[in-house]
Amino acid sequence: MTRFLTDITSIYWWISVVVVGILIHIFGTLISHKLDVPLSKVSTWWRDRSQQRTLEAEQAIAELKSSQHEQVMMAIKIVNEKVSLIIASILGYALLLMGGGFFGVGD
């Protein structure tokens, strides 16, 4: 603790702290400017992709609104997906129960 207090009262310690702070600020600014272009490209790509997905979703909704046949087909697709998920869940649970004997679970 006394060494720390001695270091803090030294003028060399304070000068080194200021110099390191200035260097960190300069390098941070340089790195920030170097990262601005790639990050703006990523941001532009993300925005364009989001707009494209929104447009596709709006077109799908408009198609569903205009055709009762498409609504029925979408309902069948949703039911099919739900049934598949239920079967997969039941199968996973059954495998978990059967595998419990192999791993010492449930003894």
Query: Regarding predicted confidence, which is higher, 2 or 57?
Result: 57
Between 104 and 41, the higher pLDDT residue: 41
Q: What pLDDT, on the 0 to 100 scale, is given for residue 4?
A: 78
**Report field, pTM of the whole predicted structure over 0.75:** no
Residue from 29, 38, 90, 11 nearest 98 by CA: 90
In total, how many domains does the chain have? 2
Q: What is the CA radius of gyration of the chain?
A: 31
Domain check: are 5 and 26 in the same one? yes
- The confidence score (pLDDT) of residue 33 equals 87
Instruction: Burial-class residue 54 by CB neighbours within 10 Å (0-12, 13-18, 19+).
Output: exposed
Same domain, 50 and 71: no
Q: To the nearest whole number, what is the mean pLDDT of the chain?
A: 89
Question: Mean pLDDT, to the nearest integer, of 70-88?
Answer: 96
Q: Taking residues 20-48, report their average pLDDT.
A: 92
Expressed as residue numbers, the domain containing 35 is 1-66
Q: What is the pLDDT of residue 80?
A: 98
Span 35-44, mean pLDDT?
91
Specify whether 59 is located in the same domain as 72.
Answer: no
Is 61 in the same domain as 76?
no
Category of 104 on φ-ψ map: left (φ > 0), alpha (ψ -120 to 50) or beta: left
